[in-house]
């Protein structure tokens, strides 16, 4: 009861199923929910570009601008591609559904595995990036970054467990505040730099170049900066969370997402170049820009909320996979607040594990992060190319070119990231995704086998059962008498017997005497146990009964008294649990527990 009160206080009152249609998101709130991840990606995409270019020395930093322009062009292509995806698949599902419909099961499962891994990493990376921004502004908090990150994940999870619409409203204002802050920083920075209003930049030592600037290094920086594209697919996976018409509204959100992301990304990259920002250290690039412009980086705390995108998509994609029998069916169940609570809890748990394992280091998590993103991009766009070539709908030629170019470029970026980041941790994703696909296949095979075995097709008329009811007793008390009463009403025409396993011969006469008075006329069977085993004689007795034929059904009735307080359970033998565990997988055997609640 107390737990229910705490749950209600944290999450709110349960919602009826009829309320689901009122939980849809408006475009304004949906942009905050689904776009918080891609919009915040610009906060560390520029930094990843600079970290690679610095390997060739400070002179190479000027190449950050053409690299950023190339990334912005790819981002525009991907956004246009996903606008086509949400129009073609308004039921949601993103890369998984596109690949399933156009390429095949295994590419679809690969896309699903990549997306699920990506969503877990999105939470980890976004929260860690947000806490990095906080510790940049308040260096004294840097030693506590892991604890702060874990608390942030817990807070966001609780917010999402309260419901889709309520969590959207909760995180919408901070997300828009973040967007306005970045636009304000970029806008004021550009104007201030042009009119020379800004103070002199503090000296930052430029490390010497460790390798020459070549095509491969530029490609590496391009691939590293493509983290700016992370989260773009989020809208396509959660189309059904928007108000109708879902497809058209999703396209509107995608367009707004693309425009805002491109402007923010290019603005931050230009200011980093113009200010001569050097990436690295405990302070992020955006924090250095904000400190130079405003003297503070407090607005960047909102980066944590980018994790909210995953909470909108991971549970929804998991529910789709559960519907298709590739993950446990529990993921398809909606909780009291009409959200997929199991998906939210699993996502939070894995994200916390990653944060603790990598000690809250953004640069260690990012190599893992980008691999899954670009696997889903490549499969999604490749699937759309196959769709246009197969259906040849109106305008299919130019659509093929858009998706085809996007598929090729994202595949090149995927290869580059896999090669360059493999030893830095990307191998983990490369290994985990095939393992997840194998798990999906095993689960699907299990569900298919269960469905076949439970099918009524070909079922002959079932035989009539010969029913035996056994009341397992260890003593004679009120709980046993109650269990015998239950057994007699359970099968009035069946053979009802009490079974006592004799582990101490000295107690048997007392049990037989009390049974003669309180046994309600039910015969008592005493099974000797020279080795003081409870289960072995009982199982042998069941074998004897059921050896008469496959129509022999046995019900074991277990009297069990329950103490009032949880700690009192350790003071009593848990014989009932032992028996239930031993009989759980036994054919033609039913176990019925008859509890007797103690008052004290």
pLDDT band at 573 (very low <50, low <70, confident <90, very high): low
Beta bridge partners of 501: 527
pLDDT in tens, 183-214: 887 888 778 777 676 655 554 555 554 455 66
154-175 average pLDDT score: 80
The set of residues, in sequence order, having a beta carbon less than 8 Å from that of 74 and lying 6+ positions away, is 226, 229, 406, 409, 410, 413
Share of the chain above pLDDT 70, in %: 83
Residue 384: the pLDDT is 92
118-131 average pLDDT score: 83
The pair of structure tokens assigned to 109 is 């499962």
**Residue 489 in this model has a pLDDT that exceeds 90:** no
In the numeric block, the tokens 């108000």 are attached to 243
Give the other-Cβ count within 10 Å of 17's Cβ: 8
Give the other-Cβ count within 10 Å of 168's Cβ: 26
Q: What is the pTM of this model?
A: 0.80
**3-class SS of residue 339:** coil
Whether 383 contacts 174, CB under 8 Å: no
User: Which parts of 54-104 fold into alpha helices (H)?
Assistant: 64-88, 94-102
pLDDT band at 297 (very low <50, low <70, confident <90, very high): very low
* Nearest of 370, 202, 227, 213 to residue 295 by alpha carbon: 202
The set of residues, in sequence order, having a beta carbon less than 8 Å from that of 173 and lying 6+ positions away, is none
In the numeric block, the tokens 């009403």 are attached to 489
pLDDT in tens, 254-290: 999 889 889 888 988 888 888 777 766 656 677 677 7
Whether 432 contacts 235, CB under 8 Å: no
21-448 homologous superfamily: Amino acid/polyamine transporter I (1.20.1740.10)
The pair of structure tokens assigned to 158 is 């609780």
Of the spans 92-101, 298-307, 441-450, which averages the highest pLDDT?
A: 441-450
Residue 540: the pLDDT is 92
**Residue 298 in this model has a pLDDT that exceeds 60:** no
Whether 490 contacts 592, CB under 8 Å: yes
Q: Which fold has domain 466-597?
A: Rossmann fold (3.40.50)
**Residue 296 in this model has a pLDDT that exceeds 50:** no
pLDDT band at 52 (very low <50, low <70, confident <90, very high): confident
Residue 283: the pLDDT is 64
CA distance 545 to 1: 43
Residue 494: the pLDDT is 66
Question: What is the average pLDDT value for the chain, to the nearest integer?
Answer: 82
Residue 576: the pLDDT is 79
HSE on the CB side for 328, CA within 13 Å?
Answer: 7
Whether 299 contacts 97, CB under 8 Å: no
Whether 163 contacts 336, CB under 8 Å: no
Exposed, middle or buried: residue 57 (CB in 10 Å: 0-12, 13-18, 19+)?
A: middle
In the numeric block, the tokens 């892991």 are attached to 146
User: Which parts of 455-471 fold into alpha helices (H)?
Assistant: none
CA distance 227 to 75: 10
Domain map of the chain by residue range?
A: 21-448, 466-597
93: left (phi over 0), alpha (psi -120 to 50) or beta: left
pLDDT band at 326 (very low <50, low <70, confident <90, very high): very high
**Residue 1 in this model has a pLDDT that exceeds 60:** no
Whether 63 contacts 53, CB under 8 Å: yes
pLDDT in tens, 514-558: 999 998 889 999 998 888 788 899 999 999 999 888 888 999 999
Residue 304: the pLDDT is 63
């Amino acid at each position: 009861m107390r737990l229910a009160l705490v749950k209600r206080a944290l999450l709110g009152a349960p919602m009826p199923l009829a309320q689901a249609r009122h939980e849809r998101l408006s475009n304004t709130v949906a942009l905050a929910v689904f776009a918080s991840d891609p919009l915040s990606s610009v906060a560390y995409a520029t930094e990843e570009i600079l970290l690679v270019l610095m390997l060739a020395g400070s002179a190479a930093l000027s190449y950050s601008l053409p690299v950023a322009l190339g990334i912005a062009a790819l981002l525009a292509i991907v956004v246009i591609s996903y606008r086509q995806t949400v129009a073609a698949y308004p039921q949601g599902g993103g890369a998984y559904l596109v690949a399933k419909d156009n390429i095949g099961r295994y590419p679809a499962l690969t896309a699903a595995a990549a997306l699920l891994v990506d969503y877990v990493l999105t939470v980890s990376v976004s929260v860690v990036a947000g806490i990095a921004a906080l510790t940049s502004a308040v260096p004294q908090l840097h030693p506590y970054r892991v604890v702060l990150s874990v608390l942030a994940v817990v807070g966001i999870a609780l917010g999402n467990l309260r419901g889709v619409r309520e969590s959207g409203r909760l995180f919408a204002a901070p997300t828009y505040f973040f967007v306005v802050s970045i636009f304000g920083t970029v806008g004021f920075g550009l104007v201030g730099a042009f009119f020379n209003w800004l103070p002199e930049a503090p000296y930052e030592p430029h490390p010497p170049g460790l390798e020459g600037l070549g095509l491969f290094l530029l490609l590496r920086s391009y691939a590293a900066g493509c983290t700016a594209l992370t989260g773009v697919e989020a809208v396509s996976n959660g189309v059904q969370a928007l108000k109708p018409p879902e497809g058209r509204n999703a396209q509107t959100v995608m367009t707004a997402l693309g425009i805002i992301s491109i402007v923010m990304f290019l603005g931050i990259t230009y200011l980093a170049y113009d200010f001569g920002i050097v990436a690295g250290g405990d302070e992020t690039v955006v924090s250095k820009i904000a400190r130079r412009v405003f003297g503070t980086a407090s607005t960047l705390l909102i980066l944590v909320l980018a994790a909210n995108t995953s909470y909108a998509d991971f549970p929804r994609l998991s529910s789709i996979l559960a519907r298709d029998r590739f993950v446990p069916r529990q993921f398809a169940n909606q909780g009291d607040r009409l959200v997929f609570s199991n998906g939210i809890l699993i996502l939070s748990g894995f994200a916390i594990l990653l944060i603790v394992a990598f000690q809250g280091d953004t640069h260690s998590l990012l190599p893992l992060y980008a691999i899954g993103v670009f696997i889903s991009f490549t499969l999604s766009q490749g699937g759309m190319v196959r769709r246009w070539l197969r259906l040849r709908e109106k305008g299919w030629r130019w659509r093929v070119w858009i998706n085809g170019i996007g598929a090729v470029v994202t595949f090149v970026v995927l290869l580059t990231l896999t090669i360059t980041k493999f030893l830095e941790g990307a191998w983990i994703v490369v290994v985990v995704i095939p393992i997840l696909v194998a798990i999906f296949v095993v689960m699907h095979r299990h569900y298919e086998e269960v469905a076949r075995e439970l099918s009524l097709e070909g079922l002959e008329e079932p035989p009539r059962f010969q029913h035996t009811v056994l009341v397992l007793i260890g003593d004679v008390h009120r709980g046993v008498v109650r269990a015998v009463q239950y057994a007699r009403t359970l099968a009035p025409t069946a053979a009802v017997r009490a079974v006592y396993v004799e582990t101490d011969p000295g107690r048997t006469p007392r049990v037989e005497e009390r049974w003669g008075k309180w046994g309600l006329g039910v015969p008592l069977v005493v099974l000797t146990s020279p080795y003081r085993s409870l289960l072995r004689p009982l199982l042998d007795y069941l074998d004897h009964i059921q050896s008469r034929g496959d129509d022999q059904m046995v019900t074991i009735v277990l009297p069990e008294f329950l103490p009032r307080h949880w700690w009192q359970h350790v003071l009593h033998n848990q014989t009932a649990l032992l028996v239930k565990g031993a009989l759980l997988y036994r054919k033609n055997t039913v176990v019925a527990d008859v509890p007797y609640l103690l008052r004290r």
